């Protein structure tokens, strides 16, 4: 048996789990939402991170199915969290092959209906590099998703662009500032200025920024000064199983 067979079996047997990383508002440091992040509970190798299997899953055509499974799981969980916090947001990642799937919008619509999650509380994340591969096609597909009422986030923002023209061409609501910029903030004045410039670009285009990879209190404070409303990172919390997230939410009420 090879890795490919293992992965197909994993999908058939649902050996995956969804972890959730809090997204906080930088003013009160309350959890305002989560990003869903898939893990593989491998029968012999233990809990595997996405880096260990997502590229292969994408390559052999399993990502559309795995991606929709993650979306379903995450929406079911989020509906519960929304009972206590009616504005609780759920972010779910989309892969390149999902974006290319002709039934993506229909599949998402089905999950929205089956789980009853309000569409405006679902944020679909797409990496900037995927979004830029074919700008016209991305604009068309994201436009079709927007008609469902969901929001779109550009992930790894700032790493992919050769020009800024794409920001006007894509129907995007949120940008997730790549952690390379955030982590360079304490290093030097230049690092801090670049992060500030990336935030400024987001604002120029009317996009809500979420800072990724915040690992210390100083960076959080600096981002707050720069009026970045939301952030994510180990300083606040690592990705965790659904039950732990429920405990965390219960403790902060
Ligand atoms: O969980 P971790 O922090 O190791 O995530 C690593 C990367 O894997 C993230 O950048 C994220 O974009 C990607 N990833 C995690 N879960 C999913 C998923 O369900 N679908 C897609 N397409 N990517 C995911
Ligand atoms: O989709 P994306 O690649 O942005 O997913 C977030 C990834 O970043 C996950 O792999 C998550 O575990 C990781 N991550 C989240 N917070 C931090 C952090 O503060 N520092 C670092 N180094 N990684 C983080
Ligand atoms: Mn992401
Ligand atoms: Na990212």
Q: What is the pLDDT of residue 187?
A: 87
Q: What is the pLDDT of residue 161?
A: 62
What residue owns the CA closest to ligand 1's atom 1?
A: 37
| Predicted confidence (pLDDT) per residue in 96-125, tens digit | 999 999 999 999 999 999 999 999 999 999
Instruction: Return phi, psi of residue 135, to 5°.
Output: -60, -45
- Which ligand 1 atom is nearest residue 38's CA? 16
Long-range pairs, 95-100, Cβ under 8 A, ≥24:
95/54, 95/58, 95/63, 95/64, 95/67, 95/130, 96/58, 96/63, 96/130, 96/133, 97/58, 97/61, 97/63, 97/64, 98/63, 98/64, 98/67, 98/68, 99/126, 99/130, 99/138, 99/141
Homologous superfamily of 3-252: EAL domain (3.20.20.450)
Tokens 């504005």 map to which residue? 87
Q: What is the pLDDT of residue 53?
A: 97
Q: What is the pLDDT of residue 160?
A: 76
Ligand 3 centroid, distance to 37 Cα (angstroms): 8
**DSSP character at residue 25:** E
Ligand 3 centroid, distance to 42 Cα (angstroms): 22
Q: What is the pLDDT of residue 72?
A: 98
Q: What is the pLDDT of residue 98?
A: 97
ipTM score for this prediction: 0.96
Weakly modelled stretches of the chain, pLDDT under 50: none
| 94 vs 164: CA distance, rounded Å | 22
**DSSP character at residue 184:** H
Residue 164: count of CB within 10 angstroms of its CB: 10
| 177 vs 240: CA distance, rounded Å | 21
Residues whose CB is less than 8 angstroms from the CB of residue 51 and which lie 6 or more positions away in sequence, other chains included: none
Q: What is the pLDDT of residue 171?
A: 95
67 close to ligand 2 (CB < 6 Angstrom):
no
Ligand 1 centroid, distance to 189 Cα (angstroms): 31
95 close to ligand 2 (CB < 6 Angstrom):
no
6 close to ligand 2 (CB < 6 Angstrom):
no
Rounded to the nearest 5 percent, the helix, strand and coil shares of the chain are 50, 20, 30
Q: What is the pLDDT of residue 37?
A: 98
Q: What is the pLDDT of residue 162?
A: 62
47 by Cβ neighbours in 10 Å (0-12 / 13-18 / 19+) ranks as: exposed
């Amino acid at each position: 048996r090879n890795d490919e067979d293992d992965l197909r079996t994993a999908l058939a047997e649902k050996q995956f789990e969804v972890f959730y990383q809090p997204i906080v508002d930088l003013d009160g440091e309350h959890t305002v939402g989560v990003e869903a992040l898939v893990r593989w509970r491998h029968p012999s190798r233990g809990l595997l991170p996405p880096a260990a299997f997502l590229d292969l899953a994408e390559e052999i055509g399993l990502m559309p199915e795995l991606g929709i499974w993650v979306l379903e799981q995450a929406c079911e969980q989020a509906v519960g969290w929304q009972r206590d916090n009616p504005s609780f947001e759920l972010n779910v990642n989309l892969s390149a092959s999902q974006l290319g799937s002709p039934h993506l919008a229909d599949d998402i619509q089905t999950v929205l209906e089956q789980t009853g999650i309000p569409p405006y509380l679902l944020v679909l994340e797409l990496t900037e590099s995927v979004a830029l591969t074919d700008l016209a096609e991305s604009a068309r597909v994201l436009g079709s998703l927007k008609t469902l009422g969901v929001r779109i986030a550009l992930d790894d923002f700032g790493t992919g662009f050769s020009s800024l023209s794409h920001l006007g061409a894509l129907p995007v609501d949120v940008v997730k500032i790549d952690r390379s910029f955030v982590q360079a903030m304490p290093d030097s004045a230049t690092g801090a200025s670049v992060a500030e410039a990336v935030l400024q670009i987001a604002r120029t285009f009317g996009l809500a920024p979420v800072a990724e990879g915040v690992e210390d209190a100083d960076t959080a404070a600096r981002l707050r000064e720069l009026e970045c409303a939301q952030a994510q990172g180990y300083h606040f919390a690592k990705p965790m199983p659904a039950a732990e997230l429920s405990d965390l939410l219960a403790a902060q009420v």
